[in-house]
Amino acid sequence: MNTQNALAYLCVDDFINTFVKAQVLKSAFEIGAIDYLQQNQPCTLDTLERKLLSDRTGIALLLDLLKINGAIEEDNGQIQLSSQFAIALQYRDLLQVKLDFANWIAPDFANHFTLLLENSRQFMERSRLFDLFGYHRCFEPTSENYELTKRWLRITTTLTKYEAQVCLQYHDFSQYKRILDIGGNSGEFVLQICKQHPKLLATVIDLPLVCDLGQAHIAQEPEANRINFIKGNALVDSLSTEFNLITFKSILHDWPEEASEQFIANASKSLAPGGTLLIFERGKIELTDKPLPYSLLPMLLLFRYFRSPLVYQRQLKAQGFEEITIQSINLEMPFFLIVAKKSKV
């Protein structure tokens, strides 16, 4: 199996793997240096100073730091983006989302990491991370709630855009006709699947405001007429039984084990006999002798929530699922893909 193309996006982490590198790149984007170089390289320091209306000493320092970071190269006074960074810019949306996400929660690590180690409940009450993912705001349709929901939906949608390509490399979706994606956010996961499988019909169930934003997100896509949104609660709602694939993509870790078990039990009722249940999730962070990248800081703060795939395997067995397989996939952190079959009788 050739997964190289699907994994190519991982190169973005090389340019935001330390706090300093990330802030340098953030400033380069804000000043406009990256955009200008993309369109006008190679160019000189004099040109950049003039075009960016910037302080010469400041822009010179920025360029020196970008050279150290491997983002730009200079030869005889001619400055241009490095070939490696040019590749990373093909995934600019992901690069900037990861940078913004890490920066948003960095104060949590600086100010509350001790609290997280000692009292996770108090950390939840004080952290920017858990305020960002304020699911309680996804019910009442106010302009403020929509804007706050958009903020975290941008993160999950962009991550899913690229992670879905990996899942598509590891699992054959051509055998399915109707998919239900539980907690499917903006619909990005099923959108990427539908793009590769033009006969497939998909349904997303999620919270009301998430569904509204999801419909807007996919509205201009050719696949939009094949993706339906249901506003509901998959923990308790009775769903149609017409699906031959039900997916959980990066949702079960958000919930206690008792809830994830209930999600799986309820999904089983909506799955046609012989149908497939698929879980694509993050696993526990594996610490090595290498420093943890700055871009993974948000995931570090969620360390209590990522589980072993064996937990879900046990829950699937308890619901009578058969032919359970687990594939481990190394991305910027461990992922796993679990596939299970519902009995035909």
pLDDT of res. 289: 85
Mean predicted confidence (pLDDT) in 291-307: 96
pLDDT in tens, 19-34: 999 999 999 999 999 9
Alpha-carbon gap, residue 16 to 127, rounded angstroms:
22
The kind and range of the H/E element at 153 are: helix 143-170
Helix (H, G, I), strand (E, B) or coil at 252: helix
Q: What is the pLDDT of the chain when averaged over all its residues?
A: 95
Give backbone dihedrals phi and psi of 261, rounded to 5 degrees, phi first.
-65, -40
Tell me, rounded to whole angstroms, the distance of Cα 109 from its chain centroid.
20
> CB neighbours of 312 closer than 8 A, spacing ≥ 6?
252, 260, 264, 279, 281, 338
Task: For the chain, give the longest Cα–Cα distance.
Answer: 75
Domains present along the chain, CATH in parentheses = 4-92 (1.10.10.10), 158-286+306-341 (3.40.50.150)
The angle that helices 19-31 and 56-68 make with each other, rounded to 10 degrees, is 130
**Residue 1 scores a pLDDT above 70:** no
- The model's pLDDT over 193-248, given as tens digits with 9 standing for 90+, comes to 999 999 999 999 999 999 999 999 999 999 999 999 999 998 888 888 789 999 99
* pLDDT tens readout for residues 145-154: 999 999 999 9
Q: What is the DSSP letter of 177?
A: S
Q: Let me know if 233 is exposed, middle or buried by CB neighbors in 10 A (0-12, 13-18, 19+).
A: exposed
* Model confidence pLDDT, tens digit, residues 67-117: 999 999 999 999 999 999 999 999 999 999 999 999 999 999 999 999 999
Three-state helix/strand/coil letters over 22-33: HHHHHHHHHHCH
What pTM did the predictor assign?
A: 0.95
